[in-house]
Structure 1
Amino acid sequence: MIKIVIFEDNILRRSGLKMLLDSMDHMSCVGDFDDCTDIVNHIKKLKPDVILMDINMPNVDGIEGLKLVKNHFPEIKVVMLTVFEEEDKILEAICAKADGYLLKQNSPMKLLDGIQEVMDGGAPMTPSVAKKVLSLFNNSIKKIKGDKIEFTKREKEILKLLVQGYSYKIIASKCFISYATVNKHISNIYAKMQVHSVAAAVSRAIKEGLV
């Protein structure tokens, strides 16, 4: 059973998400809140596997909530729920090590798939969000110069697909290789980049112009 906590200030959206999650046999909403006030105590008590986090909330917003979660509970997956206009917030969430980024307008099935994907070690990202992130970094962040990481052709191909927001399964299909082989290549990519998550790999790849 995947235990999920929701942070969303819109009560109708929050109630809808809770009903959707509780309708699934393998998922359960164990808590829902309208902002991130006292988030550390909430998470300590509820012990979720995944947090669905709105970005714009009153008092303590989603970015601050994300930072608190990652500081105290780095193993918990946090998927940000965004609207397309929140460009600066999306960038800030990447730097704060969010595990995924999904548009609120997505269908319920895409949201459920995203939760399962993040539990499987992936980094769900709506393609339109991924495209916007790439554009924003290209336009606003100066590429960092330094020792260039040497990737194999296949590793570079897979890293580029990760940055574009594709899941492990889709990457395997696009590259005509097995899921296990994708995992092996990604482990090698992590080692070379000195990171431990898809979010960190994507963030560094974009910042340093590695793809």
Structure 2
Amino acid sequence: MITVLLVDDQRLVRAGLRMLIEDTADLTVVGEAADGIEAVRLHAELAPDLVVMDLRMPGLDGVEATRRILAAAPRAKVLVLTTFDDDDHLFPALSAGAAGYFVKDTEPAVLLDAIRRTVDGDLLFSPALLRRLITRALDAPPRVPSAPADLTPRELDVLRLVGDGHGNQEIAERLHLGVSTVKSHIANLLDKTGTDNRVRLAVYASKIAH
């Protein structure tokens, strides 16, 4: 069972998310917070598998709450769910350590899938946001790598699929591999390419393609 902490200052939004999540067999809500301070406290108390985090809240906002949660628990997973899809909100959330970013008009089934996949180790974004992240990175001045990456043919296959935005399960199905094998390849890719998260790995893959 995947445990979820809901963080949003609107009670109606939290109620809707709780109903959606608890209508599934493998997800459950273990707590709710209406602001960032409460979110940090409840995360320390409940240790949920995932936090669904709003950004605009009174007092401590979602970006700073995310930063404090991850400072205390580096393996924590925070999935942002917000009204705002602009760069002024997106990039601070990523810098704070969010493992995904979705807007509130996301289809319910997509959000539920994102919760499961984020807990499983994927780094997920709405497709339009992922395209913007990659485009912005490609437009930035190139960074000279410290050493060339020595990638195997299978690692290159995985890398290309990461660059296309596929998650672990999709990569496993396309390459006829186990999910655990895909995770192992991605861990090797992060090490060999000098990237520290899946978005930067996707950007790296896009630069290879270009």
Q: TM-score, normalised by structure 2?
A: 0.83
Q: Structure 1, unaligned stretches of length 5 or more?
A: none
Query: Does the alignment pair 1:110 with 2:107?
Result: no
The aligned residue for residue 51 of structure 1 is 51
**1:28-107 map, 5 Å:** 28-83=28-83, 85-107=85-107
- Greater CA deviation, 91-100 or 56-65? 91-100
Q: Which residue of the partner structure matches residue 177 of structure 1?
A: 176
Letter in 1 for 2:200: S
Q: CA deviation at 1:4?
A: 0.6
Give the Cα–Cα distance (whole angstroms) in 1 for the partners of residues 53 and 33 of structure 2: 10
SS at match of 1:48: coil
The verdict on how the C-alpha distance between 1:137 and 1:154 changes in structure 2, with shifts beyond 3 A counting, is same
In the superposition, relative to structure 1, how do residues 71 and 110 fare at CA in structure 2: closer, same or farther (>3 Å)? same
Match of 1:94, as an amino acid?
L
What pairs with 1:180-199 in structure 2 (closer than 5 Å)?
180=179, 181-193=181-193
Q: Output aligned runs, 1:133-152, within 5 Å.
A: 133-139=133-139, 141-150=140-149, 151-152=151-152
Between the two proteins, what is the percent identity of the paired residues? 29
Residues matched between the structures, number: 206
Gap change, CA 1:84 and 1:153, over 3 Å in 2: farther
Name the SS for the 1:37 alignment partner. helix
Distance 2:101 2:145 in 1: 29
- What residue is the counterpart of 1:203 in the other structure? 200
* Kept after mapping to 1: 8 A contact 2:165/2:202: no
TM-score (norm 1): 0.83
Cα deviations across residues 83-139 of structure 1 (Å, max 9, x unaligned)? 453223212222222212222211111111111111222222221221122223334
CA distance in 1 between partners of 2:85 and 2:126 (Å)? 14
Structure 2: any 5+ residue segments left out of the alignment? none
2: CA distance between counterparts of 1:75 and 1:146? 27
Asked whether the equivalents of residues 142 and 207 of structure 1 are also in contact (C-alpha less than 8 Å), the reply is no
| Aligned amino acid, residue 135 of structure 1 | T
Q: Contact (CA 8 Å) 2:85, 2:103: kept in 1 or not? A: no
| TM-aligned CA distance change 1:85 to 1:100, over 3 Å | closer
1:7 aligns with 7
